[in-house]
Structure 1
Amino acid sequence: MSQQALPLAGFRVIDYSHFLAGPYVGRCLAALGAEVIKIERPKTGDAGRQHAWFVGEDGEYSGYFLQLNMGKKGVCVNMKDPRGREFMEKLVDTADVFIENYRPGALTKMGLGYEDLARRNPGLVYCSISAYGHTGPDSHRAGFGLIAEAKSGIMQMVGTPGEAPPLLRISLGDMYTGIHAVAAINAALLGRVKSGQGQHIDMALYDTLVSMHEYAVQCYTLSGGQEVPVQTGHDMPTSTLYGVFRAQDGDLVIAAQVDDAWKRFAALVEQHGGPAGFASDARLHTAAGRNAHRLDILAVVKPWVAAQPVAEVLALLDAIDVPGAKVQRIDEVLADPQIQARGMVVEQDHPVLGKIKLPNLPFRFSGCDTTIHQVAPDLGQDNAEIAASVGFSAEQIADMQKDGVLYSA
């Protein structure tokens, strides 16, 4: 296989973001070949550096930061100094993309809003990520992924009826918005080829999670407001049989909601100890019939699964081509031969920590490898290189470093 250049090779990205959604966008663009320059504030840097899990002799490295900022160059600049502002202006002039995820208006006060930067660089693709977006009555409000998950209606549908919904334990709002931002940035760069102009991309966590509803919104609107999806616990009343079941030694999921799969599954259950006539019950041979008699089905399937180990149930399902899977812990995920075969864990050589393992991105191209082997930068690690690339002399750089305008740990 001939290796092609990475798709975004030659593009320069300024990552002026923190924590999760913005840094994730920068990491994705770096994997696709862009030169991504991570901008941080002096001394403390990105707040993600203070987020667990901590590693190192004194816990000085954040796994959170290492994961989200691999493949980037690191610059730490004091924007309160006029030389720091000049540095940023010159850097923006050379950039194709600018990423930020501050509350709307915050960067405008610093002269780093879209209008200011676009006047200097009309081709700039400027991507903002915030909780509510830059328009609307809530645009001024702060928020995190948790807020968007609660507001979006997703959290309300998760969990056991009658109980408060659980935390999702993954940052769905940030990551889903982040990958949409990656798509939008690439589309804007492609559009710039024809127009010659950049533009402002306004991404909101709340928007992206509302867009994620593949069922709930149309369920409500097309029923004339009569149907409101609610918590259903461990299965889906509108898609029987599809859910989570407890076996002797763990939990598994079964997806036998399609008519043909259901018939094979029902025959399997009857053959292996289920009630006689279960497979031939014509009431259960259509989706509507199964949904109408869902509780009767669960009364058979739950004890049937519970009487067997997970591995035995899955072996039976595999034999009849009905999808099923164990509910895995994270240690089981990382040991999964499929995940290993797909290269979904990347090993990097860190100059202090030695070999570290972090999750890879899911990009797979036939002509190039997007795996990032470069570790996340230390604070201000690439100050001199980037300053020189935008025209500062060695003497100017030395003065800025001495005065803390360009700060390094």
Structure 2
Amino acid sequence: MQPRPLEGIRVIDYSHFLAGPYVGRCLAALGAEVIKVERPGDGDAGRRHATILDDQQSGYFLQLNMGKRGVSVNLKDARGKAFMQRLCDSADVFIENYRPGALDRLGLGYAELAARNPRLVYCSISAYGHTGPDAHRAGFGLIAEAKSGIMQMVGAPGAAPPLLRISLGDMYTGIHAVAAINAALLGRVTSSRGQHIDMALYDTLVSMHEYAVQCYTLDGVLPEQTGHDMPASTLYGVFRAVDGDMVIAAQVDDAWQRFAALVEAHGGPAGFGSDARFHDSAGRNAHRQAILAVVTPWVAAQPVARLLDWLDSVDVPCAKVQRIDEVLADPQIRARGMIVEQDHPRLGKLRLPNLPFRFSDCDTTIRAVAPDLGQHNAEVARSLGFDAAEIAALCADGVLFSKGDLND
């Protein structure tokens, strides 16, 4: 097995909640040494987010911070600031997701850290980015989803858009940040200099529009809420069967022909499979309501399993709309190792989502659990050249803060 691609890279993760910690988790999986830096006391607010397990850990924090080492530093103390600057001097990458300007006041802005460490790749994640009239505004993924035009397109016509229920803005921005950081590290090989990467949740969600923007700029059409299917891709949508919901993707001409023939063969109207109106995309879209009038009751009369068997037999893409418990039990997910198991010293066995990285010659699955607050203070301090007496004094004075049974 090869070493993981980022082994030897040190990352300082000075971020909280979701987008930044997700970037750090990805870099840890790719082999980087990721040091999670938190404020004394309660640390990252994500520790007290969904599924709180004890006074240190939530399921949310455990998922986003596995594989990292934990340090807690009091930056209000001059010794803490000096410790943090020394730590950043040793780093290749710095991740933060605070409002623009917030870290400048702590001496942790890009200009100050890069002056000390010109090779540093500094990644900022914020709602609106570090430029533009909204740069100063606070925001979360929900705000970016609303502003981006994505939310306006989902839901039933005339109804208020639903919450997406996954953190699309944070996760999509996070994985783009991972790509940008790796590109900057590669560029540093020839330039010998790092740079500032400025990622915005709003930017990345606008970049996701694969058709809506050009529909408007090229054709003057504003996308509208369409509910359970896509008028420009007939037949492509969600349908209710006897015992559950399923999706069918028969929008491509040859898949449509197989699908329509199947419907006719299993109780659909005679001639449905050979109706020339439906033989190309434009015709299907123009006659969408006529198609739905046949397909919707046809699906509704059958159980999901039978429909899946029929559709698989003619190679029409389809799937059941699964609950989370069904996802965890899915043989495909098990075969791909998409649920990682970890043994936690206090909490026992943990089962959490894995990352989707698959390399032919190295394993990127993280087995190390997320750190307790300040768990690796002494270990990291030693790596920076602090001696035992200095470390003891920093800990005794609360400059390096720790909490919990796993502390170093």
Q: TM-score range by the shorter chain?
A: over 0.9
Gaps of 5+ in 1: none
C-alpha distance in structure 2 between counterparts of 1:194 and 1:77, whole Å: 34
C-alpha distance in structure 2 between counterparts of 1:201 and 1:76, whole Å: 25
Q: 2:110 aligned with 1:114, yes or no?
A: yes
Aligned residue number for residue 53 of structure 1 = 51
Q: CA deviation at 1:393?
A: 1.3
Aligned residue number for residue 373 of structure 1 = 367
Aligned residue number for residue 290 of structure 1 = 284
Q: 2:348 aligned with 1:354, yes or no?
A: yes
Aligned residue number for residue 77 of structure 1 = 73
Choose from 6, 10, 13 the match for 1:12: 10
Contact between 2:6 and 2:27, CA under 8 Å: does it hold in 1? Answer: yes
Q: CA deviation at 1:391?
A: 1.4
Q: When the two structures are aligned, how many residues end up with a matched partner?
A: 403
Mapping for residues 7-406 of structure 1, pairs under 5 Å: 7-56=5-54, 60-223=56-219, 226-406=220-400
Contact between 2:232 and 2:285, CA under 8 Å: does it hold in 1? Answer: yes
Query: What is the CA deviation profile of residues 100-126 of structure 1, one whole-angstrom value per residue up to 9, with x for unaligned ones?
Result: 000000000111000000000000000
SS at match of 1:300: helix
Q: CA deviation at 1:376?
A: 0.1
SS at match of 2:292: helix
Query: What is the CA deviation profile of residues 289-348 of structure 1, one whole-angstrom value per residue up to 9, with x for unaligned ones?
Result: 000000000000000000000000110000000000000000000000000000000000
Q: Which runs of 4+ in 1 moved over 2 A?
A: none
- Residue identity matched to 1:193: V
Gaps of 5+ in 2: 404-408
Q: CA deviation at 1:4?
A: 0.2
C-alpha distance in structure 1 between counterparts of 2:400 and 2:105, whole Å: 21
C-alpha distance in structure 2 between counterparts of 1:391 and 1:115, whole Å: 25
C-alpha distance in structure 1 between counterparts of 2:70 and 2:121, whole Å: 21
C-alpha distance in structure 1 between counterparts of 2:37 and 2:52, whole Å: 22
SS at match of 1:54: coil
- Residue identity matched to 1:166: P
C-alpha distance in structure 1 between counterparts of 2:92 and 2:185, whole Å: 8
Task: Compute the TM-score of the two structures, normalised by the length of structure 2.
Answer: 0.98
Q: CA deviation at 1:392?
A: 1.1
Q: CA deviation at 1:61?
A: 2.3
C-alpha distance in structure 2 between counterparts of 1:313 and 1:395, whole Å: 70
C-alpha distance in structure 1 between counterparts of 2:317 and 2:50, whole Å: 36
Contact between 2:56 and 2:372, CA under 8 Å: does it hold in 1? Answer: no
C-alpha distance in structure 1 between counterparts of 2:295 and 2:50, whole Å: 41
Q: CA deviation at 1:388?
A: 1.1
Task: Compute the TM-score of the two structures, normalised by the length of structure 1.
Answer: 0.98
- Residue identity matched to 1:306: A
Q: CA deviation at 1:265?
A: 0.5
C-alpha distance in structure 1 between counterparts of 2:380 and 2:275, whole Å: 71
C-alpha distance in structure 2 between counterparts of 1:54 and 1:198, whole Å: 38
Aligned residue number for residue 406 of structure 2 = none
C-alpha distance in structure 1 between counterparts of 2:57 and 2:83, whole Å: 28
